[in-house]
Amino acid sequence: MIFLNFKTYESGTGKNAVLMANKVQDVSKETGVKIIPVVQPSDIKEIVSTTSIEIWAQKIDPVTYGAHTGSILAEGVFEDGAVGTVLNHSENRFVDFETLSKAHLRAKEVGLKTLIFTKDIEEMEKALEIKPDFVSYEPPALIGSKDVSVATSQPEIISKAVLISKNSGVPLIVGAGIHSQKDISISLSLGATGVAVASDVMLSSDPKRELLELVEGFK
Ligand code: G3P
């Protein structure tokens, strides 16, 4: 499986987000590889209304109904049709583990699936204590890299992460600099369940072709 993080790329915002999600759906249906658009909360409702694949949110906050101006409420993204949410991405990390735990609890209270991003093994071990549906290992320094991926530069850490996540019964998603089918096949051969990708697809002049190339790594 692939988590395709739309971030705040222009190609993944507003009308473009809807177009991109439909391309993702085409590739997913043509190839049978599960690809999950991870989108901005403001785009969830419209994307959900034009697709039939799982759509996830990029974040929720650890708040309940009430006076929390600017926060992203779990109930809101769930009502708009999101199936899950990622949490703690390096570009929008929670201030501490307690805050992450609260946000995770809120996601679970409304029935959202969860993927927790972690920057290293230590943080991953901590995140596994709260039993997300998926855990991701993404070294921040490699995020957005065009030529070095986590798969080719840190295979031994991925193997270690696989062992630890398997012991907790939580599937591992690896990300950062993933840009080729080789990156994906290496990640899967080391025991990862899937990958998280962004720039390779979102900045491509032909995202559908790029995705079709990437999914070859699952064959
Ligand atoms: O969430 C996945 C993302 O952080 C990876 O980004 O651009 O390295 O594929 P990128």
Report the amino acid identity of residue 10: E
Q: Tens digits of per-residue pLDDT, 110-124?
A: 999 999 999 999 999
CATH number of the domain enclosing 106? 3.20.20.70
> Using CA atoms, how far apart are residues 59 and 112, in angstroms rounded to an integer?
11
Active site residue 104: no
Candidates 86, 116, 142, 199: which one to mutate for ligand 1, based on the most atoms within 8 Å of Cβ?
199
The secondary structure of residue 144, as a DSSP letter, is T
Task: Determine the distance separating the centroid of ligand 1 and the alpha carbon of 176, expressed in angstroms.
Answer: 5
Q: Tens digits of per-residue pLDDT, 168-195?
A: 999 999 999 999 999 999 999 999 999 9
Closest ligand 1 atom number to CA of residue 7 = 1
Q: Locate 14 and state its tokens.
A: 């507003």
Show the domain range for 175.
2-218
> Is residue 201 within 8 Å of residue 35, measured between CB atoms?
no
> Using CA atoms, how far apart are residues 216 and 213, in angstroms rounded to an integer?
5
Active site residue 138: yes
Q: Locate 92 and state its tokens.
A: 């929008």
Q: At what angle do helices 121-128 and 155-167 cross, to 10 degrees?
A: 10
Q: Which residues of the chain have pLDDT under 70?
A: none
pLDDT value at residue 72: 98
Distances (CA, A) of 81 to 41, 93, 195: 10, 24, 23
Per the structure, the count of domains in the chain is 1
Quickly tell me which residue has 């709260």 as its tokens.
Answer: 130
Candidates 4, 40, 89, 138: which one to mutate for ligand 1, based on the most atoms within 8 Å of Cβ?
138
Closest ligand 1 atom number to CA of residue 177 = 8
